[in-house]
Amino acid sequence: MTGGDMTWTASAATAPDLACPIGPVVDIVFSRWTTPILWTLHTHGRQRFVELERRITKITPKVLTQRLRQLERDGMVVRTYHPEVPPRVEYEISELGRSLAPLFAHLAEWSATNLPKVEQARHDYDSEPTA
């Protein structure tokens, strides 16, 4: 590809890091539970662990804890500890995490427009007799 797209080279095809420069971003942002966590924090603002747990159904407390720690490590989420009795911890999306909002909005728009086409393509594919 050329022009506005990146140029493909033979070395890019052999070096995974160069083959897809957005690979590391995809690993950070689109892992199994990361997107729902970031979406929820962006949509609902600062929340406690139990609030996130209620809003993101089917996630286990262990996995939520792991993902929140990783997102904090990656700079996407800010964890605030309040030394009260009992202690209170809140999570909110960081400025870095918020910078993903246009990407998420674009993906939501793409989803609304194209998921029906994907479903139709799957239906058509699954309906074809196998050779």
Q: What CATH number is associated with residue 105?
A: 1.10.10.10
Count of domains in the chain?
1
Report CA-CA distances (Å) from 101 to 94, 96, 104. Answer: 11, 10, 5
Mean pLDDT of 82-93: 94
Mean pLDDT of 25-33: 86
On whether residue 45 sits in a domain, the answer given is yes
Residues 6+ apart with CB under 8 A from 74: 28
On whether residue 8 sits in a domain, the answer given is no
On whether residue 4 sits in a domain, the answer given is no
On whether residue 10 sits in a domain, the answer given is no
Say yes or no to pLDDT of 38 above 80. yes
More confident residue, 88 or 4: 88
In this prediction the pTM is: 0.75
On whether residue 43 sits in a domain, the answer given is yes
On whether residue 129 sits in a domain, the answer given is no
Task: Show the tokens assigned to 4.
Answer: 């506005």
Beta bridge partners of 89: 81
Q: Which domain holds residue 104?
A: 20-109
Q: Where does the pLDDT of residue 30 fall: very low under 50, low under 70, confident under 90, or very high at 90 and above?
A: confident
Q: What is the pLDDT of residue 1?
A: 42
On whether residue 95 sits in a domain, the answer given is yes
On whether residue 6 sits in a domain, the answer given is no
Q: Where does the pLDDT of residue 17 fall: very low under 50, low under 70, confident under 90, or very high at 90 and above?
A: low
Mean pLDDT of 79-93: 95
